Amino acid sequence: VCKTTTEGSSDSGFSLDSSGILTETPTCVLADFSSAWDDFTSQHMYMNGPSPKEQTDEYAPPEVLFGPTWVPFDGQNPQSYDSWSIGVLALELLLGTPNVFSVDQRTRVILSHRMKKQGASEEEIQKALYLAALSQFCIYTPTKSESTRWPLRAGDPLHKTDIAEIKCTLQHFHSALRARDPLGTGFDSSSDSLLELIWGLLAWNPHDRITPSKALQHEYFISERNDHVHKDMFQPHKSSENALTPKIMEPKVQTKQFEAIMTEFK
């Protein structure tokens, strides 16, 4: 992706997902360039430009999914779309599942019930659940304003709730991964540089997101001490559980608040 974008054949995001990547250790190549974009082609061949139909929502960044109007990518930093997609793919490889941005069942029930009482649509509820998952990964921090920036009826439904993380560090991101690890082993300190890289690829603000070219210069790729991580991190391990086996994730809701909210059901 970095080589292609920096040589001028693309100014924006490819449609990156696991089905478009072919791997045969140690080689990895992209096989699907159907959504590659450049300004000249967009203006002279496809006058209407790209549309939401050309994107895979699971790999689309938040500025594309949650903006007041749909835009194909951030105009000032178009390669940030690619960075986000690569970050999602890396999480899928680490966790062994395509459903990386999911919340535990308790959070789902509480948030869905609260929003239904406020008259939210199913689409709005699903977007809120996605925001809750991003918050638990410390990618999104609930806003204090009640603006109409997000497509939710009453502003941000996660503001001032314990469903979401308020203070975010790399350690919080690490904890979220450990809670979702299908092997139940988590990641030791040798994987810190990799997790830092992924966290940078998944920065909420596209202008803060690490670019593909800078990602290649990250410590994870250039440090000799990470050679064993490169070889071992994505290798299959024996486990009594399938990667898609439902797991009880680390609770994100404090008990007292949960009991208070449960009174709404009575």
Confidence grade of residue 197 (pLDDT, cut at 50, 70, 90):
very high
Spatial CB neighbours of 148, under 8 Å, sequence gap ≥ 6 = 68, 155
**What was the pLDDT predicted at 203?**
92
222 inside domain: yes
Instruction: State the Cα–Cα distance between residues 160 and 145, nearest whole angstrom.
Output: 11
Least confident stretch, 54-58, 82-86, 227-231:
227-231
> Which has more pLDDT, 88 or 225?
88
**What was the pLDDT predicted at 255?**
33
The domain total for the chain is 1
**What was the pLDDT predicted at 57?**
84
3-class SS string, 150-205: CCCCCCCCCCCCCCCCCCCCHHHHHHHHHHHCCCCCCCCHHHHHHHHHHHHHCCCC
> How much is the average pLDDT of 17-38?
61
Q: What is the pLDDT of residues 94-142, one digit of tens each?
A: 888 888 888 888 888 888 888 888 888 898 888 888 888 888 888 887 7
Q: Tokens in use for 75? A: 């105009």
Spatial CB neighbours of 63, under 8 Å, sequence gap ≥ 6 = 71, 74, 80, 206
Residue type, 245: T
Q: What is the pLDDT of residues 202-224, one digit of tens each?
A: 998 899 999 888 988 898 888 75
124 inside domain: no
**What was the pLDDT predicted at 102?**
85
**What was the pLDDT predicted at 248?**
39
**What was the pLDDT predicted at 34?**
53
Confidence grade of residue 32 (pLDDT, cut at 50, 70, 90):
low
Instruction: State the Cα–Cα distance between residues 91 and 56, nearest whole angstrom.
Output: 16
226 inside domain: yes
**What was the pLDDT predicted at 30?**
63
**What was the pLDDT predicted at 100?**
87
Tokens 């979220």 belong to residue: 176
Instruction: Please compute, for residue 90, the number of CA atoms within 13 A of its CA located in the half-sphere on the CB side.
Output: 20
Residue 199 has pLDDT above 80, yes or no: yes
Q: What domain range is 9 assigned to?
A: 2-97+213-232
243 inside domain: no
> How much is the average pLDDT of 81-86?
90
9 inside domain: yes
Q: How many CB atoms lie within 10 A of CB 219?
A: 13
What does pLDDT average to over the chain?
Answer: 69
Tokens 């929003």 belong to residue: 115
66 inside domain: yes
Percent residues over pLDDT 70 in the chain = 52
148 inside domain: no
Confidence grade of residue 144 (pLDDT, cut at 50, 70, 90):
low
Least confident stretch, 66-75, 107-116, 156-165, 231-240:
231-240
Which uninterrupted H or E stretch holds 146?
none
88 inside domain: yes
Percent residues over pLDDT 90 in the chain = 5
Instruction: State the Cα–Cα distance between residues 197 and 216, nearest whole angstrom.
Output: 10
